Amino acid sequence: MQNTTMGRFGPGGDSQYFAHVRIAGKWRGVGGEMAMQWQKRWWLGCLGLVGLYKLPVALAAMQGQASAWEFANLGWLIWLLYFVPVARPSGAGTDSADSEQRRQPPARQSPANDRQLLLDALRGFALFGILVVNITAFASPYYGLGIPDPGAQTPLGQGVAFLVSFLFETKFYLLFSFLFGYSFTIQMRSAERDGKAFAPRILRRLLGLWVIGLLHAVVLFHGDILTTYAVIGVVLLLLRNQDDKRLGMLAVGLIAVTAALWAAAALAPEVTMRGHEAGASASAQAALAAYRGTPMTVIVQHLHELTKIWVVIGLMQGPTALAMFLAGLIAGRHALFAHVQAHRALFRRLFVVGAIVGLPGAAAYAYTSVNLTGTVWEILGLALSLFTAPFLTAAYGGGMMLVFQSRRGQALAGLLAPAGRMALSNYLLQSLTCAVIFYAYGFRMIGEVPPIAGLGLAVAIFAGQLVLSRWWMARFAYGPLEWLLRAFTLLRFSPMR
């Protein structure tokens, strides 16, 4: 995720966010006043923690020392504040999330149906795409530096690189983000069934996810996606009561503004790539030495990488992932995957329109990434991909839903679903396996595996995960990390069988 799932411009990791909530309206009765004060304590404490991510940039901006990138990063977040919901009472002593959930269209209520086969299968499909991109970053110290990898300049190597850029990069983390937003509605329904307040429960879940992601980023892979999800998950929590129209407008705006910012950056007069190659080559050699050194040098290198990704994450992965969170939230409200047959026409339109718009943008991105590396054209290709990748992601999702309806597709869904049910465990297992293969934790093969072999390794690793997941889920109710995260979320241990 380079975050490698987002493309070639800096590894993903924890991003900096702040938000603000407007408390408005009249709260009546003692119960309502107590609910408002309780909500203020939760929201203000939560937002205060998130605000720490933006404090250094905000201080620099007030002193006139922030860069244009940092001003732009703050700008889209300030624009986001317009969409933050106004808290409204739903009755004395009740949580507004519960009342909002009742206002939504009827959805699945059976606990047995919350974990749907097709949703899990689609999540398993997304896991494979993420692995294909991530293993490219594990295998090459040049990934994301804006210069070609000298060991991958054969026709076969460039062909594989084009394929990965064309079909995988900037698409599958969006699909995973959509599914995160969809699952958010399942968490809301679960809290409602249990008669529990949703906000504290989901905040514990996001905190647990952030801690797991931080450990993952420092020890195994600096391209972690979980910390980013945890932070912008708080923004999703603030926006959960907005109507579908407003959420859709925000999602479209996030994608359009993000793509426009990158296009403007490429065309800015001060942007130049001169002198970049020598510095990038030195960085690649330093990374190669660190990853082949000792486990401690690997961790130190990860910490170094994590200090360089804030602006890129804030201006690319954060807003686009949030846009897909919002799209998933809308889909989850209408239980899209619970009524697949009723939505076949929608899935067909998503596939056709998404492919028509998304494939040309993906081709342009792949061409500029492989053949025009280190030029302004590469940034323009990225900007185009940021705009069109959501369409191709929609085509993937709609297409897979159609495939899953056939007899062979049902068998494929049954194969993928166990991996999707324990997606968190499998995601970290992928990183652990790659870290052992490529880093000083094991075989130190970074820089020695050509692209075609890396792609073959991704297929082999995922095939092993399918077998392992099927075996595990036949014996246990949850994946190991899913079980731990659930225990922290609910403040109680659930039976594993």
67 has a pLDDT exceeding 70: no
Q: Is the pLDDT of residue 25 over 90?
A: no
Whether 65 is covered by a domain: the verdict is no
Q: What is the pLDDT of residues 333-386, one digit of tens each?
A: 998 988 888 899 999 999 999 999 999 999 999 999 999 988 889 999 999 999
- Cβ-contact 226, 5 below 8 angstroms: no
pLDDT at 198 over 90: yes
**30, two tokens:** 């003692």
Number of domains in the chain: 1
Q: In what helix (H) or strand (E) does residue 303 lie, and over which residues does it extend? A: helix 295-306
87 has which bridge partners?
23
> Mean pLDDT in the chain?
82
**Closest to 131 measured CA to CA, from 454, 400, 370, 481:** 454
Angle at 159 between CA 155 and CA 162, to 5 degrees: 140
In a domain, 454, yes or no: yes
pLDDT-based confidence at residue 315 (cuts at 50, 70, 90):
confident
Q: Are 231 and 47 in contact (CB under 8 A)?
A: no
Instruction: Confirm whether 243 is domain-assigned.
Output: yes
Q: pLDDT of 126-153, one tens digit each?
A: 999 999 999 999 999 999 888 889 988 9
At residue 124, the pLDDT reads 97
Could you list the residue range(s) of the whole structural domain that residue 304 is in?
4-16+111-490
Q: Which contiguous run of DSSP H or E holds residue 344? A: helix 344-371
Across the range 303-327, mean pLDDT stands at 88
Q: Is 308 helix (H, G, I), strand (E, B) or coil?
A: coil
Asked whether residue 222 is assigned to any structural domain, the reply reads yes
Q: Report the alpha-carbon distance of residue 123 to residue 176 in Å, rounded.
A: 7
Please report, rounded to a whole number, the percentage of residues in the chain having pLDDT higher than 90: 64
Q: pLDDT (tens digit, 9 = 90+) per residue, 448-492? A: 999 999 999 999 999 999 999 999 999 999 999 999 999 999 999
69 within a domain of the structure (yes/no):
no
* 278 found inside a domain: yes
pLDDT digits (tens, 9 = 90+) for 266-297: 887 655 555 567 788 999 999 999 999 999 99
Query: Does residue 37 carry a pLDDT above 90?
Result: no
pLDDT band, residue 80 (cuts 50/70/90): low
The answer to whether residue 313 sits within a structural domain is: yes
With residue 86 as reference, give the H or E element that holds it.
Answer: strand 86-87
- Select from 334, 322, 331 the least CA-distant residue to 394: 331
At 308, the pLDDT band (50, 70, 90 cuts) reads confident
* pTM, to two decimals: 0.79
Q: 389-426 pLDDT, tens per residue?
A: 999 999 999 999 999 999 999 999 999 999 999 999 99
Nearest partner of 324 among 424, 405, 254, judged by Cα: 254
Euclidean distance between CA atoms 466 and 360, whole angstroms? 32
Residue 87's contacts (CB-CB under 8 Å, 6 or more residues apart) are: 21, 22, 23, 24, 25, 36, 39, 96
In a domain, 96, yes or no: no
